[in-house]
């Protein structure tokens, strides 16, 4: 059951596929030749070119993906909101976040709601992707679970297929105790040297993150993995542009083994 109303027209702009013709010739005489191996993806409303893709690319529109998923969500008994906090859409890519207020993990200060992230692209940068994450209520820090809950990935080489949503939800329910246990360990486990964490962050996430002054100040002198984890998720959620957040959130998932 969807608990909020939000306009998704910005995600569902119309798209189409067209053939590509190349101008050829010389001495002022030109002709057009069909580019057999490629096709163009354009917006139908303003005819703007989005991308040039191989003929083997099978487009899945944002509208088809979103409508199919939300229709399936209406068939299961689980409340959710469409959450703008870590959602975005541009001509080439989108990320839509569904947050579940009844699926929670607790820490010493706050509750964390599980979220399902839906990804799609029109430029081949990624396929259709569903993966689980969470949003911490106290500060809207976002994280994804790349290891503790397996998601779904489909290349744009076949028709859209979405798994049984009830099975997807059951997988999330079943994983909550494991995630809670990992959270508990991070809150209790004491670290010896934060400088080693700085090196690990640099190796996994790059200098842009590891050299951020707010992050360095936040982790200085900290004694638990949880403090490192919260500092990282805060920086990514509040200082990185939304279309780049998923990349770094997956890096955090690997670094923190979640």
Give me the pLDDT at residue 91, please: 97
Give me the pLDDT at residue 194, please: 64
Q: What is the pTM of this model?
A: 0.88
Give me the pLDDT at residue 28, please: 60
Rg (CA), the chain: 21
Mean pLDDT by 10 residues, the chain (258 residues): 90 94 63 73 95 92 96 91 94 96 86 93 94 85 87 87 89 93 88 75 91 90 88 92 92 91
Contact 134, 114 (CB under 8 A): yes
Give me the pLDDT at residue 196, please: 75
Give me the pLDDT at residue 150, please: 84
> What are the beta bridge partners of residue 132?
116
Give me the pLDDT at residue 77, please: 87
How far is 198 from 210, CA to CA, in rounded Å? 6
């Amino acid at each position: 059951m969807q608990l909020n109303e939000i306009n998704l027209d910005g995600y569902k702009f119309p798209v189409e596929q067209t053939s590509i013709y190349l101008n050829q010739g010389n001495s002022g005489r030109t002709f057009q030749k069909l580019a057999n191996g490629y096709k163009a993806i354009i917006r139908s409303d303003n005819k703007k070119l989005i991308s040039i893709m191989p003929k083997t690319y099978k487009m899945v529109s944002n509208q088809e993906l979103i409508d199919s998923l939300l229709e399936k969500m209406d068939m299961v008994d689980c409340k959710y909101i469409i959450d703008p906090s870590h959602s975005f859409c541009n001509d080439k890519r989108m990320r839509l976040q569904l947050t579940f207020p009844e699926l929670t993990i607790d820490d010493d200060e706050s509750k964390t709601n599980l979220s399902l992230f839906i990804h799609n692209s029109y430029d081949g940068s990624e396929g259709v992707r569903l993966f689980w994450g969470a949003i911490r209520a106290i500060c809207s820090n976002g994280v994804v679970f790349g290891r503790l809950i397996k998601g779904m990935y489909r290349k744009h080489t076949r028709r859209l297929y979405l798994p049984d949503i009830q099975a997807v939800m059951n997988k999330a329910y079943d994983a909550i105790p494991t995630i809670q246990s990992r959270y508990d360990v991070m809150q209790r486990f004491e670290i010896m040297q934060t400088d080693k964490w700085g090196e690990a962050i640099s190796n996994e996430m790059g200098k842009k993150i590891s050299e951020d002054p707010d992050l360095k100040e936040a982790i200085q002198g900290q004694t638990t993995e949880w403090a490192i984890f919260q500092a990282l998720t805060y920086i990514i959620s509040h200082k990185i542009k939304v279309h780049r957040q998923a990349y770094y959130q997956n890096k955090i998932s690997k670094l923190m083994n979640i």
